[in-house]
Chain A
Amino acid sequence: EVQLVESGGGLVKPGGSLRLSCAASESTFSTFTMNWVRQAPGKGLEWVSSISRSSNYIYYADSVKGRFTISRDNAKNSLFLQMNSLRAEDTAVYYCARGEGYCRGGSCYSYPPQFDPWGQGTLVTVSS
């Protein structure tokens, strides 16, 4: 099964920028829709962004729209999240996860996508 490894997290000041990466272990990466999901310390999961296989369809949560940019490089089996104008409330562990359709009772569905697998996460701390 594909394995995902995030990197790029760290400490950044409010207003600063950071670029996260997610490396996939297989070239089948190019066939996946990919997502970023974050988890603030002691809090629940929040979907951040998704990007389709060929980058044709990109979506963002309202909380990051206009500040974050998701992208991918299928030749390098990599997913990215460019985070600008960072705020304290962006502090979280950021996970990348494959988001795919699923089948039930003989029928298959695209929504809601199921997230599997997940990377181990990378911590982003926004603080002065």
Chain B
Amino acid sequence: QSVLTQPPSVSGAPGQRVTISCTGSSSNIGAAYDVHWYQQLPGTAPKLLISGSSNRPSGVPDRFSGSKSGTSASLAITGLQAEDEAHYYCQSYDNSLSGSVVFGGGTKLTVL
């Protein structure tokens, strides 16, 4: 049971827009901690996709965007492409756990 809750899967057709939610609580996202998002392509290591809830690191297409409100965060992908098919993870910090960085359980994005 992950501290941050993500839907196990989402899907969309090429060109469509999808969103992935990340729901936390008052001890993590709700405590004003930002959320980072990672993309994990099949058989590879995770890659930083969104930093500080809404910033795109250099090289990340502007089709990817992030937002945060209250105890939740969201990752949006517009203009869906086949190469976006991957697992996506949110990550934050929880002040009720010792030294604890926390991840969401991950969401598998399928491009139909």
Q: Is the interface of A mostly helix, strand, loop or mixed?
A: strand
Chain A 65-118 interface residues, beta-carbon cutoff 8 Å to B: 95, 99, 102-104, 109, 111-118
Question: Please, what's the 1-or-0 string for A36-47, where 1 marks a CB less than 8 Å from any CB in chain B?
Answer: 010000001111
A61-B100, A104-B53 known; A112-B34 Cβ under 8 A: yes
**Contact residues in B for A47 (Cβ distance below 8 Å):** 100-103
Interface residue tally for chain B (C-beta within 8 Å): 31
Q: Are B33 and A114 in contact (CB under 8 A)?
A: no
Question: Please, what's the 1-or-0 string for B101-112, where 1 marks a CB less than 8 Å from any CB in chain A?
Answer: 111111000000
**Distance from A117 Cβ to chain B, minimum over Cβ atoms (Å):** 8
Q: Are A62 and B98 in contact (CB under 8 A)?
A: yes
**Contact residues in A for B89 (Cβ distance below 8 Å):** 44-45
**Distance from A122 Cβ to chain B, minimum over Cβ atoms (Å):** 11
Q: Are A44 and B48 in contact (CB under 8 A)?
A: no
A46-B103, A47-B103 known; A104-B55 Cβ under 8 A: yes
B67 CB within 8 Å of chain A: no
Among B47, B52, B54, B104, find the residue whose CB has the most chain A CB atoms closer than 10 A. Answer: B52
Q: Are B101 and A113 in contact (CB under 8 A)?
A: yes
The size class of the interface chain A forms with chain B is 20 to 34
B38 CB within 8 Å of chain A: yes
**Distance from B30 Cβ to chain A, minimum over Cβ atoms (Å):** 14
Residue of B nearest to A4 (CB): B45
| Complex CA–CA separation, A121 to B47 (angstroms) | 13
Residue of B nearest to A95 (CB): B45
| Complex CA–CA separation, A126 to B33 (angstroms) | 35
B81 CB within 8 Å of chain A: no
Residues of B within 8 A of A (CB): 2, 33-36, 38, 44-48, 51-55, 57, 89, 91-93, 97-106
- For the A-B complex with A44-B103, A109-B52 known, give 6 more contacts whose Cβ atoms are closer than 8 Å: A37-B46, A44-B104, A47-B101, A113-B93, A115-B91, A116-B48
Residues of A within 8 A of B (CB): 35, 37, 44-47, 50, 59-62, 95, 99, 102-104, 109, 111-121
A–B complex contacts, Cβ < 8 Å, 16 sampled: A44-B105, A45-B103, A50-B99, A59-B100, A60-B99, A62-B97, A103-B52, A109-B34, A111-B33, A112-B35, A112-B36, A112-B91, A114-B52, A115-B46, A115-B48, A121-B45
